[in-house]
Amino acid sequence: MTEAADAITRVHREEWARVVATLARRLGDLDVAEEMAAEAFAIAVERWPRDGVPPNPGAWLTTTANRRAIDRLRRESRRDDKEQEARMLYDDVPAEPLGVIDDDRLRLVFTCCHPALAPEARVALTLRMVGGLTVPEIARAFLVPEATLGQRITRAKAKIKAARIPYRVPAAEDLPARVSGVLAVLYLVFNEGYLASDPDQDPVRSDLTGEAIRLTRLVHALLPYDGEVAGLLALMLLTEARRPARLSADGELVVLAEQDRGAWDPALVAEGQALVRERLAAVAAGQGRPGRYQILAAINAVHTSARDIRDTDWGQVVALYDQLVRVDPSPIVALNRAVAVAELDGPEVALALVDRLDLAGYHAFHVTRADLLRRLGRSADARAAYDSALALAGNSAEVAHLTRRRDQLAPAAGTDHQPPAT
C-alpha cells in the first residue's frame, strides 16, 4: 500500500466515529451523517495520494463532510434548510443542551443505546456508528445474515429520527437507569477489539479497545460511585494491559499461560487493580453487592497479581466464578469457570463440566475441549475438537495458534492413551 492508502486506512479506524458523531449532532440525522462521512473518506481516497495527507486528517474529514452536507442542503432546498445550514456554518454554540459532558462520541453512544431501541439494535448500531465496523463484520460477529443485520441498523436509525431521540448525554437523575445498556455495548466494542471477529482485520484492534476505554472513563466520570462502571473500567484496563504480550512476532495468539508478563503494561495493571481494591473496600463497607463487571475485574486482578501461571491463586479464581455464576448463570460463564477448575482440580473434572454445556456453535467451547483432551492425552478427540474450533474461528491470530496446537498432537490414533490414575 502507498503512504496515502496506509494513512486513509488508519484514519478511517481512528476518526470514523468522531466524524460521524460530530455530523450527527449537527445534522440530527444518522443516515445523512454516515453518508456524508463516507463521501468525505471517498474524497480523501481521491485527493490524498495526489495532494498529500493533511496535517490534521480528522479535522480535514470533518470539514469536508460538513461542506458536503451544506451543499446537499442547498441542493435539496427543504423548508428548514436555512436554519440547518446556519447551525452547521456557525456551530460554536449548539442550540440544544448537550449533557453534562461535552463529547460527541459519548452523546452518540447514549443515543445508539436509547431504551426505545431493541437491545440487539443498540449493539449493532453502536458497533456501526461508534466502532466503525462494517455490516458484514458485525453480522459475522453475531452469526446473523448480513441482510438481517442491515435491516436492524436501518430500523434503529429510522426510530431515532421518528421518535426525535436527542443527541445528548442524559441528565444526572436519568443516568443510572440508562447506564447498564451503555456498559453492555461498550464491553462488546472492547471485546471486538480484543479479539477481532473479521479474518480480514488486524487480529487485535487497539483502536476499538482504546475508544471503549476512553468512553468508559467518561461514563466513570459521570458516575464515580457506580460499582459496575468502575468494575467495567477496571476489567478493560487489566485486559488491555496484557495486549503487548498477546501476539507473537509471527502474529500468533499467545495464551495467558505462555505470555511474557514482563511485557504487560504496569501502569494499566496498577490503575485497574486500584479500582478493584476500591470496589472491594466499598462492598466490605456495605455499599452494594458486586455485579458482573466487578467480579470479572476481580478475576483479572488475581491473574495480573500472579508472577506466573503456577503462582495464580486458582482457588480464589474458582470462588469468584462461583459468585459470577450466581449473578450471570450463562453457559459461557460456566465454560470459563471450567477452565479455572481444570487448574485447580484437573482436566478430567473440568471436561465433565464442559461436556454438560450446550455450546456446540461457540468456538471457545471447542477450544476448551481441545485443550482439556490434549492434556488428558486423548489426541484423536483433541484433534477433532481443534478442527471444530477452527471451523468456527474467524480471528487470524487465533487460527494460527489453534492450527499449531493441533499439528503438535501425536499423529497416529494408536498413540492415544488415558492418563494414569491418581
> 332 and 302, same structural domain?
no
> 405 and 317, same structural domain?
yes
Give a yes or no: residue 30 inside a domain. Answer: yes
Using a 10 angstrom Cβ sphere, with 0-12 exposed, 13-18 middle and 19 or more buried, the burial of residue 330 is middle
- pLDDT in 10s for each residue of the chain, 422 residues: 578 788 888 888 778 888 888 888 888 788 888 889 889 989 999 999 988 988 888 889 989 988 888 888 777 765 555 555 545 554 544 434 444 456 788 888 888 889 889 888 988 898 888 878 888 878 877 778 899 999 999 999 899 988 888 877 788 788 888 898 899 989 988 998 898 877 777 888 888 899 899 999 989 988 899 999 999 999 999 999 999 999 999 999 999 999 999 999 999 999 999 999 999 999 999 988 999 999 999 999 999 999 999 999 999 999 999 999 999 999 999 999 999 999 999 999 999 999 999 999 999 999 999 999 999 999 999 999 999 999 998 888 999 999 999 999 987 554 444 444 43
Give a yes or no: residue 380 inside a domain. Answer: yes
> 392 and 336, same structural domain?
yes
Give a yes or no: residue 164 inside a domain. Answer: no
Give a yes or no: residue 263 inside a domain. Answer: yes
Give a yes or no: residue 388 inside a domain. Answer: yes
| Angle of CA points 121, 399, 210, to nearest 5° | 50
Give a yes or no: residue 362 inside a domain. Answer: yes
DSSP label at 92? S
| Structural domain of 380 | 313-409
Neighbours of 46 (CB within 10 A): 10
> 390 and 325, same structural domain?
yes
Distance CA 181, CA 327 (A): 17
Instruction: Tell me the three-class secondary structure of 280-304, residue by residue.
Output: HHHHHCCCCCCCHHHHHHHHHHHHH
**What's this model's pTM, rounded to 2 decimal places?**
0.81
> 399 and 325, same structural domain?
yes
Q: For the chain, what is the domain count?
A: 3
DSSP label at 422? -
247: β partners: 253
Chain-centroid distance of CA 281 in Å reads 28
